[in-house]
Amino acid sequence: MSVAAGNGWVTLAPADRASFYGARVAPIFEKYCVACHGAKKAKDGLRMDYHRLLEIGGEEGSALAAGGDPQRNIIQYRLGLSQNNILAMPPLGYRRPTAKEIAVVELWLAAGAPVGAPESDFPSAPAAIVEVQIPAVDQSLVAALRLPQSDQYTILKKRYPSAVSYASDSGNSIVITGASLGEQLNDIVLAELAQLAAVIEWADLNYTAITDQAISLLVAMPALEHIGIAGTNITQQGLAVLVTHSSAKAIVTEAGLASTAIKYMAKSRGVVLYER
Partner 1 sequence: MVKFFLREFDVSKRLRKLVGIIVIGGLAVFGWQLLSVPGAHDETPRVSFNEQIRPIFNSKCVGCHGGVTKQGGISYIFREEAIKRGNSGRLNVVPGKPGRSELVARIKTDDPLHGMPLGKPKLSNNEIATIERWISEGANWEDHWSFLPPVAIDIPARSLADWGDNPIDRFLGDKIAAAGLVNSPRATIAQQLRRLTLDLTGLPPTVDELKFISDENYLEAVDRLLASPRFGEKWATLWLDAARYTDSMGYVRDFPRDSWPYRDWVINAYNNNLPYDQFVTLQLAGDLVEGAGLDGLIATSFHRQTPTNLEGGSDNEEYRMVAVMDRVATTWSVLNGVTMACVQCHSHPYDPIDHSDYYQSLSFFNGTADYDTVTDSPTIKIPFESGLRNVAYQYFIEKKTLIKQYLNDVSNDTLASVWSDVELLSATVDRAAGWRRRYQLASAAVEAVALDISDADRKKYQRFADEALDQVGLSSDSVTVAGRVSRASVVFPDETPAVAVYQLKMSPVSAVTAIRILVEPLNRDKAAHTPEAGFAVEEFTLHSFASDGTRAEIPLAAILVDNDDNVEQQLTNVFARAAHEGDIVSGFSAEKIHSSRSVVLIPATPITVEKGGSLFVNLTQAQLMRPRQPAPVLRSLSVQTSVNSQWQNWVKSNKQLVVVEQLLGLNNQLKALDGANLPIMQELSAPQKLATLLFERGDMLAKTGQRLVGGVPNIFQQSGLAAPNNRLEFAEWFFSDQQPLTARVEVNRIWQSLFGRGLVETQEDFGSSGTAPSHPALLDWLAVEFQQRLNWDRKALIKLIVSSDAYRQSSVCAEKSRNYDAQNLLLSCMPRKRLSAEMVRDQALQASGLLNHKLGGKPVMPWQPEGIWNAKNSTGVWELSERGDQFRRAIYTHFKQSAPYPSFLIFDHVNRDVSSVRRLPTNTPLQALVMLNDPVYVEAGSGLADKMRASVEAGAPLLQAFDNAALRTFSRRLGEEEQASLRRLYDGVVETTGNSQQALQAVAMTLLNSDEAINR
Partner 2 sequence: MTKADLDQLKLERLMLNSRRTFLTGSSAALAAAFFGSTEVAAAAAGSKKFSRPTDQPLATLPPQFPARAKRVIYLHMAGAPSQLDLFDYKPELAKRDGQDTPLSFLEGKNFAFLTGIPKLMGPQYPFKQYGSSGAWFSDRLPHLAEHADKICFIKSMHTDQFNHAPAQMLALTGQSRFGYPSMGSWISYGLGTENQNLPGYVVMLSGASAPRGGKQLWGSGFLPSVYQGVQCRSQGEPVLFLDNPDNVSSAIRRQVLDTLNEINQSSYREFMDQETLTRIAQYEMSFRMQAEASDVFDISQESEKTRVAYGADPQSESFGKNCLIARRLVERGVRFVQLFDMDWDSHGQDEASSLKHNFKNLCHGIDRPIAALLSDLEERGLLEDTLVVWGSEFGRTPMKEEANGQKTPWIGRDHNPSAFTVWMAGAGVKGGYTHGSTDEMGYEVADDPVSLADFHATILYLLGYNHHDLSVHFQGLDQRLTGVHHPRIISQILA
**Does residue 11 contact residue 2 with C-beta atoms inside 8 Å?**
yes
Q: Residue 59 or residue 183: which is nearer to partner 1 going by CB?
A: 59
The DSSP-derived string for 67-84 is TT-TTTSHHHHHHHS-TT
Instruction: Kindly state whether residue 95 participates in binding partner 1, applying the rule CB under 8 A.
Output: no
Instruction: Kindly state whether residue 151 participates in binding partner 2, applying the rule CB under 8 A.
Output: no
**Does residue 214 contact residue 234 with C-beta atoms inside 8 Å?**
yes
| Residue 166 binding partner per list partner 2, partner 1, none, with a CB distance cut-off of 5 to 8 Å that depends on partner kind | partner 2
Instruction: Kindly state whether residue 158 participates in binding partner 1, applying the rule CB under 8 A.
Output: no
188 Cβ partners below 8 Å, 6+ apart? none
CA distance 261 to 263: 5
Instruction: Kindly state whether residue 274 participates in binding partner 2, applying the rule CB under 8 A.
Output: yes
The dihedral through the CA atoms of 206, 207, 212, 218 has a sign that is negative
| Residues, the chain | 276
Tell me the window of 48-56, 71-79, 89-97, 258-266 that interacts with partner 2 (CB under 8 A). Answer: 89-97
Q: Residue 181 or residue 217: which is nearer to partner 2 going by CB?
A: 181
Backbone φ, ψ for residue 153 (5° rounding) = -65, -45
Of 256, 270, 262, nearest to 242 (Cα)? 262
Among 13, 116, 138, 191, which residue sits at the site for partner 2 (rule: CB under 8 A)?
138
Q: Smallest distance, Å, CB 110 to partner 2?
A: 19
CA distance 150 to 156: 10
DSSP letter at 58 equals B
Going from the C-alpha of 252 to that of each of 89, 111, 203, 232, 234, the distances in angstroms are 54, 58, 10, 11, 12
Among 40, 120, 136, 151, which residue sits at the site for partner 1 (rule: CB under 8 A)?
40
Among 62, 152, 165, 213, which residue sits at the site for partner 2 (rule: CB under 8 A)?
165
Q: Residue 43 or residue 157: which is nearer to partner 1 going by CB?
A: 43
Q: Smallest distance, Å, CB 84 to partner 1?
A: 7
Q: Residue 61 or residue 148: which is nearer to partner 2 going by CB?
A: 148
Residues that bind partner 2 (CB under 8 A): 35, 93-96, 98-100, 126, 129-139, 161-162, 165-171, 173, 177, 179-180, 182, 204, 206-207, 226, 228, 250, 252, 272, 274-276
Residues that bind partner 1 (CB under 8 A): 35, 38, 40-41, 84, 91-93
